[in-house]
């Protein structure tokens, strides 16, 4: 399973990338706003750090504008993936842009039926938001299970990768990995939470204390 980092903060990207855990990056207008920087400049800078896919989202809801913006974003670097919303106009833009060999991440997916349509329109990635479903008392993990099964059933036709978004905890990452999701996009703080475990800390502390008792030096 691939790990994408969900942020537009350059320092966070560099920090996690130095661990060797970053396979790609996802951004959105909210993350760009939080960065306080120019959108295109941020995407350009990320593309110089990360070799894997970098999702950059269109900022229009109009089909023609999405296509224009998508072309412009894809020209920034070879590894740019254009994000479009799962709307009628977004799906039309997905089909148009993918026909030009531009990789597309269809975002804001909340049902398996939406995922089927997005894949048929040429999406490279589908981004189901599990945390936001959980927020309204729906079962976000169940959606991932459905999409993975559907794509597997029709893998000769549906080539889209399942990119799980809106992840809030390490447990969710484990669950979607068991289901067979292709990619998770994770906030930096959750990536750090994955690494830490209290029993690891306790065990290491015990080992270090016992090493000191040996009186040896390495």
End-to-end CA distance of the chain: 37
Q: Which single residue is written with the structure tokens 């990056």?
A: 25
Which residues of the chain form beta strands (DSSP E)?
2-6, 24-26, 54-57, 80-85, 104-109, 125-128, 161-164, 183-186
CA separation for the pair 49, 34 (Å, rounded): 20
3-state secondary structure at position 8: coil
CA separation for the pair 154, 170 (Å, rounded): 29
Residues with active-site annotation: 83
CA separation for the pair 94, 104 (Å, rounded): 6
**Residue 49 phi, psi (nearest 5):** -100, -40
**Sequence-ordered list of residues with C-beta below 8 angstroms from that of 146, at least 6 positions apart, any chain:** 112
């Amino acid at each position: 399973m691939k790990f994408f980092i969900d942020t537009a903060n350059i320092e966070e990207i560099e920090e996690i990338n130095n661990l060797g855990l970053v396979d790609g990056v996802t951004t959105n207008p909210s993350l760009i706003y939080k960065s306080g920087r120019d959108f295109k400049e941020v995407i350009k800078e990320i593309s110089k750090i990360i070799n894997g896919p970098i999702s950059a989202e269109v900022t229009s809801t109009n089909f023609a504008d999405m296509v224009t913006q998508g072309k412009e974003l894809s020209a920034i670097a070879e590894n740019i993936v254009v994000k479009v919303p799962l709307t009628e106009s977004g799906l039309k833009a997905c089909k148009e842009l993918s026909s030009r060999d531009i990789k597309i991440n269809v975002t804001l997916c909340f049902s398996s039926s939406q995922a089927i349509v997005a894949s048929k329109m040429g999406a490279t990635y589908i981004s189901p938001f599990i945390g936001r479903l959980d927020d309204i008392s729906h079962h976000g993990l169940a959606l991932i299970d459905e999409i993975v099964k559907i794509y597997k059933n029709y893998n000769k036709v549906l080539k889209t990768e399942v990119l799980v978004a809106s992840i809030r905890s390490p447990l969710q990452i484990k669950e979607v990995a068991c289901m067979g999701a292709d990619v998770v996009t994770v906030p930096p703080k959750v990536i750090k939470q994955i690494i830490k475990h209290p029993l690891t800390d306790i065990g290491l502390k015990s080992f270090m204390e016992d090493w000191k008792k040996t009186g040896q030096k390495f």
